[in-house]
Amino acid sequence: MIAAALIVLGLGLGGTALATVHQRAALTRDITAVTGPLSVGVQDLYRSLSDADATAATAFLTSGAEPAELRQRYLDDLARAGAALTAATRNADDADAARLAVLTDQLPVYTGLVETARSYNRLGVPLGGAYLREASGLMRHTLLPQAQGLFESAQGRLSAAQRDAVGFPWAVLLLGLLTVAGLVYAQVLLARRTNRVFNLGLVAASLVALLALVWSAAGLSAAASRVDAGRGDGSALVSVLAGARRAALQARADEALTLIARGSGAAFEKDYRVVAQDLAGLLGTAADRAPEADRAVILAARDHAVRWGELHDGMRALDDKGDYLAAVAKASATGAAFTELDAAMTSALATANDRVDRQAGHGGGALTGLEVGLLLLTAGLVTAIVLGFRPRIGEYR
């Protein structure tokens, strides 16, 4: 009965450890191959849509044909958004599929409104501004909220995978300790019954059980530590930086739409002030949370945001006193500051996203060979128990 109980415990330990390791390895692979890339993809989707809106508004400030580089940037944004939509469809659940359907249906409507606005602007007809405001309203109130929902869903899936991958393996620890305690008890019992101090089979089984427990605990702990580092210094930072970039892109569109409204854009300017304040707060939070290696680029982004704000105030001063053409000319300087800000935030986001993927990969590497090793150790544990008890059982025949 004791031999049978120890065999059951050994198989339970090996099976539980093997299942836990297999699950953690699958989770780390999911982070690197599915949820991580999905999060990056929907970040690109939101950024492309929002940047397309801001670029279309900025290009509209020019009389006649817009600059070729702005037109190309707008078209590139739409191409990237289309590619991101296609990629997001592959791993969409029902809720995400509904969001993607809205984006797929309404994006052509948005582009049609923008093209109509461009046509009127090239002809010098003021009606173009109304079409552009309608397009921007569609982007802000319909398209971007759906893209934001996709991002939050992707981040939720990523966080869930990371949370499951860093959980403490209590079942493995408890079964391991129980198995070792059972083996020690069996050896004490046999020593009293047979007057033999050591049972080589059970001594070997105890060593194998300890090795299985220590190896499993070490591998799982190392993997959890890596994934947790990717969560704290990676995905958590990504959420803050993505929020900052969303605020910056919205502020840029507000800035251009305020000028396009020609004196009736108070609502856009008010929204600019709100999101600019959000941007400053989010960049400060990101700088506080970021690892030392990332802090410099985030602080640089904050400096660019401050400079952009100062240039914006100068532009608004010109527009408020009626010098519209000078204000439009000043908008090119604010655009340069925004470009530097966007580049810095994009760099910080790329680093944080890469950290999530890299740490998950290191976590999966910590489990390399552990599944095969546990199979062999479990077989060795059961064999050692059988060999340890077999001579003793034979003495009763």
DSSP string, 3-15: HHHHHHHHHHHHH
Q: 394 pLDDT band (50/70/90 cuts)?
A: confident
Over 90: is that where the pLDDT of 349 sits? no
- Quick one: what percent of the chain has pLDDT higher than 70? 99
For the stretch 14-60, pLDDT in tens is: 999 999 998 888 888 888 777 778 888 888 899 899 989 888 888 88
The domain spans of the chain are: 2-394
Task: Name the pLDDT band for 352 (thresholds 50, 70, 90).
Answer: confident
Mean pLDDT, the chain, rounded, equals 87
Q: If you average pLDDT over residues 242-253, what whole number do you get?
A: 89
- For 195: left if phi > 0, alpha if psi spans -120 to 50, otherwise beta; the answer is left
Q: Is residue 126 pLDDT above 80, yes or no?
A: no
Indicate the pLDDT class of residue 162, thresholds 50, 70 and 90: confident
Instruction: Give φ, ψ of 197 to 5 degrees.
Output: -70, -45
Distances (CA, A) of 116 to 111, 126, 255: 9, 12, 21
Residue 388 has a pLDDT of 86
pLDDT 10s digits, 90-125: 878 888 899 999 999 999 999 999 999 988 888 878
Give the pLDDT score at 160.
Answer: 84
Top pLDDT among 33 and 189 is at 189
Query: pTM of the prediction?
Result: 0.78
C-alpha span between 212 and 96 (Å, rounded): 42
Check residue 94 and give its pLDDT: 86
For residue 64, the model assigns a pLDDT of: 59
